[in-house]
Amino acid sequence: IAPLLTVPGLRWVSLQVGPRAADVSQCGFDGQIENLSDRIRDWGDTADLVASCDFVLSVDTGVAHLAGALGKPVWTLLHHAADWRWLRGREDSPWYPTMRLFRQEHPGNWLGVIERVRGALHDLVTDRAHGTAMLNMSAHSSSSANTTGAQDQDQPTGHAVLSSPLLPIVQGSHL
């Protein structure tokens, strides 16, 4: 997720809990991504934090579904062979009208996904600066995302709100 952190004008927070909450520090993102795991005891706390953010960026995890169910703008990063519920050949979700899907074009190529998300984030920040943005960005991230482009059969375990093991949450100024 490091390329995403270079987009100016965003505040990143992580909603990752459990042993993977330490990914923010272990991956060297202290000071760039705020770890909010100490504020999360249950899904109610998670919902409150998602609601306080402007945007959620996540892989296919419970936080992505929660954000979609809450009607929060959410970008979901999907493995090349994503679950059936995400259908094929589309960037939206019939289940969550506020969700945008970013799929791997080739198995294991998370770098391509991250670069497309970075471009979309840059466009949103630019539009926001010109007063034309539809949303203010918040992210939950997962530091376990493979951004080397190496073949990887496992999906990253993080979010960006960015949300999940370590993709980020683009966070508004509400927290």
Alpha carbons 70 and 20: distance in angstroms, whole number:
24
Q: How many CB atoms lie within 10 A of CB 108?
A: 17
- Residue 135 CA to residue 121 CA, distance in Å, equals 11
Q: Where are the beta strands (DSSP E) in the chain?
A: 11-14, 33-35, 56-59, 74-78, 99-103, 140-141, 159-160, 162-164, 169-171
Instruction: State pTM to two decimals.
Output: 0.76
Calculate ∠ Cα 109-35-144, nearest 5°.
Answer: 20
Question: What per-residue confidence (pLDDT) applies to 133?
Answer: 53
d(CA 84, CA 78): 11
pLDDT by 10s per residue, the chain, length 175:
899 999 988 889 999 999 988 888 998 998 999 999 999 999 999 999 999 988 899 999 999 999 999 999 999 999 999 988 899 989 999 999 999 999 999 998 999 999 999 999 999 888 777 766 554 333 333 333 333 333 333 333 333 344 433 333 333 323 2
